[in-house]
Amino acid sequence: MNKLLIFPLFLGGILFSQQKTDSLEFRKIADVVMNDGTAYEDLRHLTKNIGHRVSGSEAYEKAADWAVETLKKAGADKVWKQPVNVPVWMHGKESLAVKGTDGKWKKIRMLSLGNSEGTGGKDLSGALIVVRNFDEFNKLADTDLKDKIVLFNYPFRQEIISTMEGYGDAVKYRVMAASAVARRGGKAAIIRSVSTAFDDVPHTGVMHYQEGVRKIPVGAVGPRTADELQEMAARGVLVARLNSNCGMRGEKPSFNVIGELTGKDSKKVIVVGGHLDSWDVGEGAHDDGTGIVQSIEVLRALKKTAYRNHHTIRVVCFANEENGARGGNAYADSLQLKKEPHIFALESDAGGFSPRGFGLIGTAEQKKQIRSWAPLFLPYGVYDFSIEEGGVDIDPMKKSGIALSGLIPDSQRYFDIHHSDADTFEKVNRRELLLGATVMTQMIYMIDRYWK
């Protein structure tokens, strides 16, 4: 045989043998998680016994204690709490009513947006102006907006197939509406909820005040209500009456919760995690209870398969993702301070639906390496490695040059329930949740074995 042909054949044989070994390991991981995984029951306990977990609340502290015990039961070698100062925002009682041309007040379901200031428990009334978007709003004169309440009825664009892209398009109204209205003399803002659904469920979510601009109240109404108010405004002048007790209440000490399987022959760290906090509506199931229990399941599965990890594999339950991202920043700062070498971070924060891919942020060579593993993941329904995405909590680690990845589930139903009363345990499918945990474990296994 030509000697020039021997080496490629030899190399090909090695690669085939590695793929076969990894395929068998993938199967072993899937068998352990799909048959014996406890993520679904962990989620039941988190959502039903503790419930929603807004930063700074007593419920969050209970969730942190639960995470410590759950990580210990999963087999972590070490478990600890990392101190984090978090902002405290409280919802409180709230109401919205609108009076139309018939002179009758109609009560409207509303949720104040996260970090919004309220009315101090007093009624705030004013003429209600309805616009479809910022273009319509910008065409109005300041005199038309002074002392008015403005509703932005901007729908989640249904023709955008990627719901994450659609969310990015619509969420600017949630983030920017209050300051846009305040700059032009308005007294309050309301938005159409950032939702793919055509129901009447209001969704909350974080907003931001522009520095130096007066802080006015801002809330969200359901999609159907927004359309109804648009129609009513076309028939005549509307008056809105808003009352809310929400607002910031300073800061308080809190925690990230961390558990790890110590590496056998390396001090380098691989992170997998989600955020333990949620908004104070629903049960914080898909956002992000599923990411938390999936991450703990990764640790449990690796322990149960008796896999001997080379690097330290660390589960991080991040604090305060929803209204400050303090947990992610605190963790990233600590690894720089301690000079802990990290090589990869994976986050699950897009719901517990069927996994479809992994977002990737890293070098071209790193992306190429992960994409070369695609055939191993395909039998588990994972095929999309094209999106450049990590996660809010792990994003601060970019400053340390760490490669990031985010689990990409099928998100077509996610924004129906995101940040609303509808985000409950019952909306999570056990099989889909465990399949997500399976592929996350498989990814961590591959990173641990082969990451360059």
Domain end (from 215, 245, 275) = 245
pLDDT digits (tens, 9 = 90+) for 114-153: 999 999 999 999 999 999 999 999 999 999 999 999 999 9
Residues 213 and 279 occupy one common structural domain: no
The total number of structural domains in the chain stands at 2
- Which stretch of DSSP H or E encloses residue 224? helix 223-235
Residues 284 and 166 in one domain: no
β-bridge partners, 151:
130, 190
261 and 364 belong to one structural domain? yes
Rounded distance, CA 187 to CA 313, Å? 50
Residues 232 and 303 in one domain: no
pLDDT of residue 10: 44
How far apart are the C-alpha atoms of 201 and 189, rounded to whole Å? 18
Same domain, 145 and 78: no
The CATH number given to whatever domain includes residue 47 is 3.40.630.10
Kindly state whether residues 286 and 429 are assigned to the same domain: yes
> What CATH number did the domain enclosing 225 receive?
3.50.30.30
Q: Which of 245, 277, 312 is the last residue of a domain?
A: 245
Detail the DSSP E strand segments found in 8-158.
Answer: 78-90, 94-99, 105-108, 110-112, 124-131, 149-152
Residue 100 lies in a domain: yes
Read off the amino acid at residue 208. H
Answer yes or no: do 120 and 49 share one domain. no
225 and 275, same domain (yes or no)? no
Is 199 domain-assigned? yes
Based on the domain organization, do 140 and 182 belong to the same domain?
Answer: yes
Query: Do 196 and 412 meet the contact criterion of CB atoms below 8 Å apart?
Result: yes
pTM recorded for the entire structure = 0.94
Four-point Cα dihedral 53, 54, 56, 60, nearest 10: 10
Would you list the DSSP string of 374-423? HHHHGGGT--B-------TTTGGGGGGT-EEEEEEE--TTHHHHTTSTT-
Residues 227 and 316 both lie in one domain: no
**DSSP result, 47-79:** IIII----TTSHHHHHHHHHHHHHHHHHT-SEE
Tell me which of 245, 276, 298 is where a domain ends: 245
Q: Would 368 be classed as within a structural domain?
A: yes
* Rounded (5°) CA angle 247-252-253: 150
Asked if the structure places residue 139 within a domain, the reply is yes
Query: Is residue 60 situated within a structural domain?
Result: yes
Give the model confidence (pLDDT) of 174-218 as tens digits: 999 999 999 999 999 999 999 999 999 999 999 999 999 999 999
Separation of alpha carbons 305 and 388, rounded Å = 31
Q: Is residue 188 part of a domain?
A: yes
319 assigned to some structural domain = yes
Residue 17 in any domain: the answer is no
Per-residue pLDDT of the chain in tens (452 residues, 90 and over written 9): 555 544 454 445 555 567 889 999 999 999 999 999 999 999 999 999 999 999 999 999 999 999 999 999 999 999 999 999 999 999 999 999 999 989 999 999 999 999 999 999 999 999 999 999 999 999 999 999 999 999 999 999 999 999 999 999 999 999 999 999 999 999 999 999 999 999 999 999 999 999 999 999 999 999 999 999 999 999 999 999 999 999 999 999 999 999 999 999 888 999 999 999 999 999 999 999 999 999 999 999 999 999 999 999 999 999 999 999 999 999 999 998 998 999 999 999 999 999 999 999 999 999 999 999 999 999 999 999 999 999 999 999 999 999 999 999 999 999 999 999 999 999 999 999 999 999 999 999 999 999 97
Same domain? For 270 and 400 the reply is: yes
Same domain, 238 and 355: no
Query: Per the structure block, which two tokens stand in for 93?
Result: 């009682």
Nearest-angstrom CA–CA distance, 389 and 164:
10
What range defines the domain where residue 74 resides?
28-88+250-450
Give the Cα-Cα-Cα angle 68, 69, 73 (nearest 5 degrees): 120
Strand pairing category for 188-192 and 149-152? parallel
